Structure 1
Amino acid sequence: MRTSTRIAGALTGLTLALGGVAFIAPAAHADVTACINQVERELQGGEAPDSIRMACYVGLTGDHAQCVSGLTAGGVTNGTAVSACKVAPK
């Protein structure tokens, strides 16, 4: 196989891989944002601290129990924590 063909193939693969990440990243960000926004509504306009943001990120990975635990440890009511963690992985 010629070097130019290999380089073209590698660049095509890289372009497709990076393009796929670009399509996935906004969806993941939106899910964490939905979780954070739900918590911030309970805080009545206050900005969620980093511990809340991290708990929502854990919810994005699918660990619902750890997400709820992290949010309640951060002062969020159990009902809001459960509903916020449900929207994180979607």
Structure 2
Amino acid sequence: MRTSTRIAGVLTGVTLALGGAALAAPAAHADIPACVNQVERELQGGEAPDSVRMACYVGLTGHHDQCVSDLTRAGVTEQTAGSACRVAPQ
């Protein structure tokens, strides 16, 4: 499978997952940006990649440990990952 095809598939999956979260819980959807903003502060102006948004969605569903693990795998420090994942389900 070509890399471009694989990337397109992953981005489609992320888009569908985030779109489903918006439809299923529109009030809670606002907390994904709060989580992403925590990470972007660490990046000091850089935009968070899709892997961060997906990890924040995982945190929104209440899976704090998985959220932290996914964010640290995406290159976020453990301290920032912990604080970002704490704000996701609020």
- Asked if these proteins are the same fold (TM beyond 0.5), I'd say yes
Q: Are 1:64 and 2:64 counterparts?
A: yes
Q: Aligned partners of 1:82, 1:75: CA distance in 2, in Å?
A: 13
Aligned length: 68
- Letter of the 1:83 counterpart: S
1:28 offset after TM fit, Å?
1.6
Q: Aligned partners of 1:75, 1:47: CA distance in 2, in Å?
A: 13
Q: Aligned partners of 2:63, 2:43: CA distance in 1, in Å?
A: 23
1:77 offset after TM fit, Å?
0.3
Post-superposition CA distance 1:12-49 (Å, at most 9, x none): xxxxxxxxx98x50x22211010000000000011100
Percent of aligned pairs with the same residue? 74
Which runs of no fewer than 5 residues in structure 2 stay unpaired?
Answer: 1-21
* Root-mean-square deviation over aligned CA pairs: 1.5
Greater gyration radius: 1
Could you tell me the TM-score, scaled by structure 1's length?
Answer: 0.71
Which runs of no fewer than 5 residues in structure 1 stay unpaired?
Answer: 1-20
Q: Are 1:43 and 2:43 counterparts?
A: yes
